[in-house]
Chain A
Amino acid sequence: MSHVDEGALHAYLDGALEEYPAAEAVRIREHLDSCAECAERLEAERKIRTDAHAILGLAAPEVELPSFEDLRAYVERTRPKGGAISVHAYRMRLAASVVLALGTGWMLRGGLPGPQGPVADTAAESGATNAVASGARVRAEPVAAAATSGGGASADALAERADLPAQTVVTRQEVGSARAAGAEIRSLPEAEMRSAPEAEMRSAPEAEVLAALDATRVPAQKQAAPAVAAVSSDVMASAEAGAGVVADELELPEDDALEEGVPLDFDQFVDEATTTAAIDEAIVTAGSATPVPASGESMPDSADRDETSRSRERSAGPPVTSALEQNSFAARRAVAPDEAPSSEEPSMAVPGLEVVTVTSLGEGTAPSGTHVVQRMEDGSTLDIYHLLPEVRPDIVPAAPTGSNEVSRLTESGWIVLQGQRSVAELDELLQSLFPEG
C-alpha cells in the first residue's frame, strides 16, 4: 500500500478529509493507523503546521467589530431606488420587453392590425414604455436612422413605413412611444441612456408588464413562427442600432419564467422569438453585417439594409479593433467610449489586442456568458470567458496543454483567461480588463 502524501497529511491535520471522497478518506485514515513511517511524518508535518499558524498569528491585528446595525442602515440608505432585482425577475422582465417589442414591431411592420386600442396604449398605461419603444424600433429602424440625421421621426414617416393610418401612430406617440424613433433616446445624457432600459424595466411592476404581454397575445397568436424568428433578428439589429442594450442583458427567460395560463400559441411565440439561435445570430455577427433572415420572411430591402448598416455605424463608438467594430454589440460594449468600464464592469477584451471572435456561451434558454478570442503579439490566442453571475467557472473548458489559466470573480460574474503565457502575465492581462486597476 502506498504511503500517504504530504497533502493528505495536512488535510488530515486540518480535519479536511471529510471533504475528500469517502473511500480515499478511509484509506488515508487506515494507513495512518497502521504505518509507523507515515505516523512519524504526520508528527513532523504537525509541527510545521503549528509553526506556520503561530507565525501568521504574529500578524493578526486586534479587530474591533463595528456595529452591524450601522452597516445595515448604510446599505439601506444607499440601496438603489427600487431595490435589488433578482436575476429571475430581471430575466422575466427582459423577456416581457422582448416579447412586447416583437408584437408591437410586427404590427408596425404592416402585418395584421392589433385589436382596437393599440398595444402601445396598454403598454404605456402600464408603464412599460421601454418595451413599446423597443418594439417600435423593430420596424422603424430605417426611420430611426433618418431620425438620427434629421432630429426626429415624424408620425407620417412611421405611418408610411408601417402602412398604418397616421393618426394611429400619432396616438402611439402621444402615449409615450415617441422615444421609439431613436432621436430622443440618443439625445438622453449618456449615463441616463445606458441605464434607461434597466431603470425603465424596474419601474414597471411585473404584473403590469404581464398585462402588457397579454395585450400582445392576439397578434402574437396570429404570427407565424418562421416570421417571428426573422423579426427577432430585426429586434436584435435595431437594439444594436439604438437601444444601448448590452449583450449580457439579453438573458433569456428560463422555462418557468413565463406565467401560467398563457395560451400554448403564445408560449410557442415566446420560445420562437427568444430562441438562442436567433439572438446568437445577432450577437455573433462579428464577421457578417446583417442578420440572416428566416425562411419565408422578407428582410428589409437593400436600401433599408444599407440605411440600417449606416445607422449602426453612426451609433457605434470609434472603432478600436477590427472585429469589434462590426456589428456585435457585445463586442461594441467593450470599446464604446460611453461604456467605459469601471472597476466593477470589466472590458470584454484586452485593449490593443486583435479580437478574433466573440461568441455567446450557453445553450437553449440558458446563456452562460461570452467567449472572446483575441490574438496576441506572437500569434497565439488569448481566450477570455465572461461568465454571467451565478455561472460557475468550471463550465469553461480546461486550458489546453502549454496554456495557463487565471480567473477572477467580479460583481458581474467570473472572468477566466487562458493563454500561452505565464500565470503572472495572464494575471496582468486580466488586470488590464479593469483599466482603473
Chain B
Amino acid sequence: MSGIDWNDLYRTTFPELVRFLHRKVWDAERARDLAQEAFVRALQHEPRKPRAWLFQVAANLARDEARTVIRRKKHLVLLKTEAEVKEESSNDASAELTEQERWAAVREALDSLSEKDREALLLWDAGQSYTEIANQLGLAVGAVGTTLSRARKRLAKAYEERETVDVARR
C-alpha cells in the first residue's frame, strides 16, 4: 500500500466530491453513490495522485450514463426514497420546494456556462488547485484564472437575470 492516508483523504475529500457531483447530476443521493463509487475505484487502483484522480473519475462517472450498476442501484434507492418521502414529505413540503427551487435556479445558471467554464468552476469550488484544474481540463495554469473569471461572471449574471424574472413573476 502506498503512503497515502486514505482515511484522511476520504474524510476531507468525500464531501467536496459529493458537492462536485451534485452540481452535475443534481441528485444528492446519486451524487453520494457516485462519490462512493469513485472512492471504491481509487482504493482498488491506488493512484499516485488520488485527489485529482478521484475528481477525474467522478466527472467521468457523472457523464457516463452507461454506469448501469449505479443507475440500477439508484433506481432502487429512488423507489425506497419515494416511499419514504410520501410519508414524511407532508411536514416539510414547503422547505423541500424552496430547496428544489434554489437548486433549479443554480442549475439553470450553471447550464448557461460552457462546459469547460462550468467544469473549471466546479472543480475550483470543490477545492482543486489551479494546477489540478489545468491538468484535468488540458489548460495552461495561466489560463485557469481567465476561465474562472469568465465563468464566475457568467454565473452571477445568469443567476441575477433569473432572479429578476422570478421577482417580476411574483
Contact = CB atoms under 8 A, between A and B. Distances in A.
B43 interface: yes
Interface string B61-79: 0011111100000000000
Contacts of B107: 59
Interface string A37-70: 0000000010011011101101111111110100
How extensive is the interface on chain B, given as a class? 35 or more
A45 B148 CA distance: 11
Interface in A1-30: 5-11, 14, 16, 19-20, 24
A248 to B, nearest CB: 16
Interface string B34-65: 00100111011110100001001100100111
Contact of A56 (B44, B121, B141, B146): B121
A72 B66 CA distance: 25
Interface string B2-36: 00001100110011001100110000100110001
B146 A5 contact: yes
A145 to B, nearest CB: 38
A74 to B, nearest CB: 7
A203 interface: no
B106 A6 contact: no
B44 A84 contact: yes
A75 B43 contact: yes
A71 interface: yes
B18 A63 contact: yes
Nearest to B16: A63
A6 B36 CA distance: 37
Interface string B119-137: 0011011000111000010
Contacts of A411: 41, 45, 57
A79 B44 contact: yes
Contacts of A64: 32
A76 to B, nearest CB: 9
A65 B14 contact: yes
B109 A7 contact: no
A400 interface: no
Contacts of B124: 14
Interface string B136-168: 101001111111111111011001000000000
Contact of A19 (B39, B103, B121, B129): B129
Given A20-B142, A408-B60, A59 B23 contact: yes
B36 A11 contact: no
Interface string A80-109: 000010000000000000000000000000
Contacts of A62: 28
Contact of A7 (B63, B64, B66, B142): B142
Interface of B: 6-7, 10-11, 14-15, 18-19, 22-23, 28, 31-32, 36, 39-41, 43-46, 48, 53, 56-57, 60, 63-68, 102-103, 105-107, 109, 115-116, 121-122, 124-125, 129-131, 136, 138, 141-153, 155-156, 159
Closest CB pairs A-B (n = 10): A7-B146, A7-B145, A436-B66, A52-B152, A11-B145, A59-B106, A61-B28, A343-B66, A63-B15, A16-B130
19 contacts: A11-B130, A16-B145, A24-B142, A45-B149, A52-B151, A56-B155, A59-B102, A61-B28, A61-B31, A66-B32, A71-B43, A72-B43, A75-B43, A84-B46, A343-B66, A393-B138, A408-B60, A434-B66, A437-B66
Interface of A: 5-11, 14, 16, 19-20, 24, 45, 48-49, 51-53, 55-56, 58-66, 68, 71-72, 74-75, 78-79, 84, 343, 390, 393, 405, 407-411, 423, 427, 434, 436-437
Given A7-B147, A48-B149, A75-B44, 11 more contacts: A7-B143, A9-B145, A10-B146, A19-B129, A56-B121, A59-B103, A63-B19, A65-B14, A78-B44, A411-B41, A411-B57
